[in-house]
Amino acid sequence: MLTTTPEAEPDDAELVDILERMVAGQVYSTRCFNLQRQGRMGTMAPIDGSEALVAGAASALDPTTDWVFPQYREQFALGRFGDEVIDRVVLYNIGHPAGGHYAEHLRVFPHQISLACQIPHAVGMAWGMKVTGEPGCVATFFGDGSSSEGDFYEAANLAGVLDAPVIFVLVNNGWAISTPTAAQTGAESFAAKAHAFGFPGMQVDGRDPLAVRAAVFEARERAVGGRGPMLIEAVTVRHGPHTTADDPTKYRSADELARARDDEPIRRFAAQLTERGLWSEERQREVEAAADARFDLAWDRSQEAAATLDPATALFEHVYAEPTARMQRQRGELRAHLDAMANGAANGSAAG
Amino acid sequence: MVEAINHTLHEEMARDERVMVFGEDVAVNGGVFRATEGLIDAFGPDRVVDMPLAEAVIVGASVGLAAAGLVPVAEIQFLGFSYQAMHQLVGQVARLRSRTQGRFDAPITVRAPFGGGVRTPELHSESLESQYANCPGLKIAAPATAADAKGLLAAAIRDPDPVLFLEPLRGYRMIRGPVPEDDHVVPLGRSRQARSGTDLVIVAWSYQAELACRAADRLAADGLSVGVLDLRSIVPLDVDGLAEAVSSVGRAIVVQEAPETCGFASEIIATINDHCFYDLEAPVERVSGFDVPYPVGLLEDFYVPDVDRIVAAARRTLAMAP
């Protein structure tokens, strides 16, 4: 993990690191997609099209001082914030409660399924950091669709009032499931919405990690310098389905999907780095193999965790600091019921 | 009671510098009911903050503030307005500990006045406590006395879990009583025997406990011994205290201001059935609002349970043959 405060200009190692995060993100996402298709994982949202903007943004943040409040598509490429992020993602996607438990040193909030709900949280965190005098800032990711939610407007408005050190990364990938951006807003751009909140908005190519990095770097300088928030609209194209439950051919033409795939960010950035002598097909295969191996480790860990999951304990844990008397009774009843069913099964008398 | 709340906020902010108070009109104006008066002078504008008029972010920002190590005390000006924050309160605040599996506590208090009888416009008077009681992860306190307002608010602010702290709008000035000067904490989940009685017990919380006491006093004039159990908090619920109070007398009624269907009184009666069925000498009656939207001013006295309706229900229940 690179832990230094980001420099304005990424050096060669940083450039390679960004591409490695992008490649790993695509490998992780594809592995999860395939596992879902095999029935071994729940519904998930592939990263397709967001690799560059996530890895680019992350490389302009300091994982030791800054926080990330993601939605649910970005985690695959957030490796800079900790190798273990993928462990949480896999646990989350198999439906293990520990999928939301990021270790203390990971400044990442868990998956947010209720769209835009993380934006008030991010602003609250930024506000809290300002009050307590903590260094650093907060970055939150959300989509073009989420920018129609009231939570976005309420939170961005408050951030403007407080000059909170927060960076809004609005991922405009063209689609909110089947709803195109033209049906999402009448504004000339999503970035233009920032004007009304009293802070700058900027539109960047979300398929160019260095463009996103430069924008986030500038936003971070503002934020940690006490000059308040910034909105970055990272424009990309989702080149696959919204989630594993979605069939984009219902609302997108085959041509348009193919064009989106042709311009996917990894190929583009790999070509740039190859030209500079920093990348090769061989290097790409090595990085993919390493990501596959890391995913295997995450998968094995998730299966061990699933095997030891005790439902009567896990259901009632972490609802309150201490379970209420009523919950303790319920837990006891569930355990007794499960024991009775297990005993019945052992005796061959379990009802069907 | 409102002075007790104000006094407690002063004490808790002095006791723990992580405590922040924020909401609409809470700082310079001191709150529309004066509950937060003087806090900004004592603790400054960083800790006592006037918020934009936006309930969802008032509640939602609490999640981030708590994760940043602060102790948020948010005010929603009227509980009816909490509908505009419900997705944050229920979907996010109540689930913070659960969805992070204990990485983050949610020591968040959301204060809101509730209940009717003071001729407010629409959506200022709703009693929504049972809707929130159906949301695991939240605790719900609803004091009926000035002393409990202090003790329960102190408990709520110090609790590592989120507490919806419901203040009776009608009781802010009408409920008066001594308040302990020293550190006074009333643990959530412990009911209070507001009146003792041997013939029947009235179960209530918040302002209805005050009304229940008046009803008990009136019934006492007729020689009827009626107790009042003030639940103080509905989540957690003092199941043992409730069962003991009902089983010992065999007759009970439950008073609430919310509509009858799916109100918390229904939960109380189901709990009584679980624990007291063989001790009951009469069915347990509910005295409730009706299954209608909270009415406008000219109609609200016919909707909100009053002493007459409580007394009538108590007499019906007492008249039942065992």
For B82-119, how does the pLDDT look when each residue is reduced to its tens digit (9 = 90+)?
999 999 999 999 999 999 999 999 999 999 999 998 89
Which residues on chain B are in Cβ contact (under 8 Å) with A110?
Answer: 99-100
Same domain, A253 and A280: yes
> How far is the alpha carbon of B244 from chain A, nearest alpha carbon, in Å?
15
Q: pLDDT value at position A5?
A: 82
The CATH 3.40.50.970 portion of chain B extends over 2-174
Q: Please judge whether A120 and B99 are an interchain contact, meaning their C-beta atoms are less than 8 angstroms apart.
A: no
Query: Quick check: is A6 in a domain?
Result: no
Task: Determine contact, residues A110/A100, Cβ cutoff 8 Å.
Answer: yes
Looking at chain B, which residues constitute the CATH 3.40.50.920 domain(s)?
A: 192-319
Taking domain B2-174, whether its CATH number is 3.40.50.970 is answered by yes
Give the model's pLDDT for residue A185: 96
- Residue A315 sits in the same domain as residue A295: no
Residue A4 confidence class, pLDDT cut points 50, 70, 90: low
- Nearest in space to B115 (alpha carbons), one of B194, B204, B208, B33: B208
Q: Which residues pair with B164 in a beta bridge?
A: B110, B140
Tracing tokens 């751009």 back to the chain, one arrives at A189
- AA letter at A90: V
The verdict on a CB contact (< 8 Å) between A326 and B103 is no
The verdict on residue A351 lying in a domain is: no
pLDDT digits (tens, 9 = 90+) for A180-215: 999 999 999 999 999 999 999 999 999 999 999 999
Q: Under an 8 A CB cutoff, do A117 and B60 touch? A: yes
Q: Which residues of chain B lie closer than 8 angstroms to A101, CB-CB? A: 100-103
Whether pLDDT at B61 is above 90? yes
Nearest CA among B145, B140, B257, B251 for reference residue B194: B145
B32 pLDDT above the threshold of 60:
yes
* Residues A340 and A291 placed together within one structural domain of the fold: no
| pLDDT interval class at A352 (50, 70, 90) | very low
Mean per-residue pLDDT for B37-65?
98
Q: Are A63 and A99 in a shared domain?
A: yes
| Alpha-carbon distance values, B266 to B140, B258, B273 (Å) | 16, 11, 11
pLDDT at B26 over 70: yes
Task: Report pLDDT for B322.
Answer: 80
Please list the alpha-helical segments (H only) found in chain B: 2-15, 39-43, 55-67, 86-88, 96-99, 129-133, 146-158, 171-174, 207-221, 239-249, 264-276, 297-303, 307-319
Residues B192-319, CATH architecture? 3-Layer(aba) Sandwich (3.40)
Binding-site residues on chain B for chain A (CB distance < 8 A): 20, 46-47, 51-52, 54, 56-57, 59-70, 72, 87-88, 91-92, 97-103, 105, 136-137, 139, 159-161, 189, 235-237, 239-240
Q: Letter for the amino acid at A155?
A: A
The pLDDT, as a whole number, for residue A82 is 96
* Mean pLDDT computed over every residue of chain B: 97
* Residues 6 or more apart in contact with residue B291 via CB below 8 angstroms: B259, B260, B261
Task: Give the catalytic positions of B in this structure.
Answer: 124
pLDDT bucket at A349, cuts 50 / 70 / 90:
low
State the pLDDT at residue A260.
85
| In a shared domain, residues A287 and A329 | no
Average pLDDT over residues A99-119: 96
pTM: 0.96
Same domain? A301 vs A318: no
Closest CA to B202 of B140, B248, B255, B141: B255
Same domain, A145 and A164: yes
Picking from A117, A157, A321, the nearest residue to B87 by CB comes out as A117
Is residue A348 very low, low, confident or very high in pLDDT (cuts 50, 70, 90)?
low
Q: Is residue A2 part of a domain?
A: no
| pLDDT tens, residue by residue, B264-291 | 999 999 999 999 999 999 999 999 999 9
Count of domains observed in chain A: 2
Summarised one tens digit per residue, pLDDT across range A213-240 is 999 999 999 999 999 999 999 999 998 9
Confirm whether A202 is domain-assigned.
yes
Contact A154 B91 (CB under 8 A): no
Question: What residues of A are in the B interface, CB distance below 8 Å?
Answer: 69, 97-98, 100-104, 109-110, 114, 117, 119-129, 131-132, 134, 138, 150-151, 154-155, 157-158, 161, 317-321, 324-326
A58 in a structural domain: yes
pLDDT for res A345: 72
Three-class SS state of B48: strand
Q: Is B236 in Cβ contact with A325 (below 8 Å)? A: yes
Residues A339 and A228 placed together within one structural domain of the fold: no
Q: Are A278 and A329 found together in one domain?
A: no
Identify the three-state secondary structure at position B165. strand
Report CB contact under 8 Å: B139, A317. no
Can you give the pLDDT at residue B187?
98
CATH of the domain at A45: 3.40.50.970
Which residues in chain B have Cβ-Cβ distances shorter than 8 Å to A134?
A: 68
Tens of pLDDT, residues A140-164: 999 999 999 999 999 999 999 999 9
Ordered DSSP codes for A279-324: --HHHHHHHHHHHHHHHHHHHHHHHHHHHT--HHHHTTTTSSSS--
Residue A239 maps to a domain: yes
Q: B50: exposed, middle or buried (C-beta count within 10 Å: 0-12, 13-18, 19+)?
A: middle
- For residue A7, tell me if it sits in a domain: no
- Pick the residue from chain A with its C-alpha nearest to B48: A131
Residue B168: HSE in the Cβ half-sphere, 13 Å Cα cutoff: 26
ipTM for the complex shown: 0.96
Residue from B13, B22, B62, B65 to probe the interface with A (highest A Cβ count within 10 Å):
B65
Q: Which tens digits make up the pLDDT trace of B176-226?
A: 999 999 999 999 999 999 999 999 999 999 999 999 999 999 999 999 999
Domain range for residue A77? 12-307
**Same structural domain, A271 and A326:** no
The alpha-carbon gap from B79 to the nearest alpha carbon of chain A, in Å, equals 19
Q: CB B236 to CB A324 under 8 A?
A: yes
- In this predicted structure, the answer to whether residue A351 has a pLDDT above a threshold of 50 is no
B65 vs A128: CB contact, 8 Å cut-off?
yes
A3 inside domain:
no
CB B220 within 8 A of CB B213: no
Longest CA–CA separation in chain B, Å = 62
**A154 vs B56, B136, B237: nearest CB:** B56
Please write the tens of the pLDDT for every residue from B137-147.
Answer: 999 999 999 99
